[in-house]
Structure 1
C-alpha cells in the first residue's frame, strides 16, 4: 500500500521521473499479494496524471504491460470501474504509432470485448481508435530486430474489428469505402475482414448495407484486373450467403437471403 501511494504521488512529479515510476508500478502490477482496490487506484492515477502518448516507446509499452497484467489478474476489480476503464484505455492508446505497442494495444481491445468489459457510450470511440489503422500500411525497416511483419499487424487488427457485432454499423461503411479504393492491398484486406465478420454477424447487422456490399462486390467480380481480388470477392459472397442462411434458420424476420440472392441472380 505504501509503495503504491508513493509511486502514485511521484506520477505528479517532473516528467523525467515518470519512466522510473512506471517501471516500479509495472513490478507492483505483477505482485500477487496486492491488496484489493490497488489495481484500480494505480490505473486511475495513470489515466489522470500521465499523458501516455508524449512518452517514449518503451515507457508507453510499460503502461500497456501494467494494464495487461491487471487485466490478467484483477478482472473483477477493473470491471468495477465500468466504462471509465474503457475510456481511460482509449486515451492511452489514442495516437499510438509504434508497431510493437500496437500489437499489445490491439490485444487489450480484443480482451475488453471478449471478456465483456463495459464499453458503455464509448463503442464508437473504441472503434475509431483502432480502425484508424485500417488498412495497415506498414513496411518493416531493413534488419528490423523486432521481427514484426505487416501480416502480424493486419491479422491482429482484423481480429479486433471482426470480434464484435457492436462495431458493425461503423465497420461496414469503412469496408465498402476501402473496397472501392485503388489500392489492391486495401481491397484484399477489406474483403478478408468482411469474410471474417460474417462468422459473427446476422441479418440485423448486414441488412442496410447489403445493396452497397453487393454493388462493390459485383464490380470486382465482373471487372477486376486481379484474380486475387476476384477470388476474395467470391469468398466474401460465399460468407455473406452463409451468414444470411444461418440467420434465416434462427429468425422470423423478412427473408434477406432471398432478396440478396435474387439481386445476384439478376
Structure 2
C-alpha cells in the first residue's frame, strides 16, 4: 500500500499531462501532500522503492550480458593468438580477463590454476585486459609476443607472481631471465596480431560491461572479482550440466 502511494505520487510528477486528465488540480495537490506526509513519516518507503529499482536494473543488466555473451561466444573462444591453457578440447571453457598490475588478479592466480589443473576437461582462455596504465599494456603485449618464442606460460606465471610494483624494466628483465630474445620480443610486441588482440579484448569487455579485473566467464555466467575456487567449480558444474 505504501509503495502504491509512492508510485502514484511519482506518476503525478513524471506524467503530469496524463494525471490532469484523471484528477483535478485540487485532487492532484491532495495526492502530492499525502505522498509527502507518508514519505516524511515512513522514509523507509524510499529504500523499498530503491531496492525494487535496483533488482530490476540488475535483472536487465544480466539479460543484456547474456545476449552479448551469445553474440560474442565465438570471439571469446576462437584461438587466434589468444593464449589457451588447460585442455584445448575441454567440454567447459573458463575465460579470464586480467591485468598484470592487478593485485586481485595475482591473488586469484593460484586459485584459477588450481581449478584448471584439478579438472582435466577445462579449456582456459586467457584475455590480456590491460587497463591499469601504460605498463599494463607493455606487459600484455610482451606476454602475447612471448608466444612466438614458446614462453607464454612461464612468462605469464612470472608476471603474475613477481614481487613489488611492475615496471617496463622488470617486464624485460623477466623475459631475459627466462632466456628470451628481448630485442626480438620488442619487435614482436608491435606486430599487428598483438595489437588486434589487445583491441579486441577491450571491445569484448566493453560489450559485456566488464570494467575491472579479474573477471571470469563460465558458460552464461560472468563472475567479477577474485572469486573462491568453490564458486568457479560450481559454475563449471552448472555449465557442464547444461551441455547434457
TM-score class, shorter-chain normalisation, is under 0.3
Larger Rg: 2
Bigger RCO (CA 8 Å, 6+ sep)? 2
What TM-score results when the alignment is normalised by the length of structure 1?
0.25
- Normalization by structure 2: what TM-score? 0.27
Q: Which has the higher strand share?
A: 2
